[in-house]
Amino acid sequence: MKKGLLVLLVAIIAVVSSCSKDAKINRRLDGEWKVVTIGGVAPEVSESYSFKFTKVDKLTGTGTFTYTFLTESFTEPLTYTVLDEKLTVIIDGEVEIFTVTTYEKDRMEMIDTDGDIWVLDPK
């Protein structure tokens, strides 16, 4: 009986700590971020990528993804969810899942499904 209660307590702590990490990631995401590198490569001088995340509740939000090439900018709305330290972003019906590895106020690092590391700095 004591062993069963211990297992249950450990499971509850794991779920609560996971949720709090996800909520912390979502709080840190809130704002504008420029993409510094993708897979270790910086965007060309003539192009840039940026995200704007707006937290809706503890684990979800909305925002935009902006791509600029030369003098033309394209902005797409997005929605996102944070769960199990993964950021699921939906842009124009396309889903991308990032594993968040660093979530500091001045730097975010995420790994996409292709294994490329995205480094983002606040804008």
pLDDT digits (tens, 9 = 90+) for 85-114: 999 999 999 999 999 999 988 999 999 999
Give DSSP secondary structure letters for 44-104: PTTEEEEEEEEE-SSSEEEEEEEEEETTEEEEEEEEEEEETTEEEEEETTEEEEEEEEEEE
Q: What's the confidence (pLDDT) of residue 63?
A: 97
Helix (H, G, I), strand (E, B) or coil at 17: helix
Q: What's the confidence (pLDDT) of residue 44?
A: 93
Q: What's the confidence (pLDDT) of residue 19?
A: 57
Instruction: Say yes or no to pLDDT of 122 above 70.
Output: yes
Domain boundaries 2-122, corresponding CATH code: 2.40.128.20
Domain boundaries, the chain: 2-122
Closest CA to 89 of 76, 106, 73, 105: 76
In this prediction the pTM is: 0.80
pLDDT digits (tens, 9 = 90+) for 7-50: 443 344 444 444 588 999 999 999 999 999 999 999 999 999 99
Q: Which residues of 4-15 are buried (b: 16+ CB within 10 A; e: fewer)?
A: eeeeeeeeeeee
Partners of 25 in the beta sheet?
none
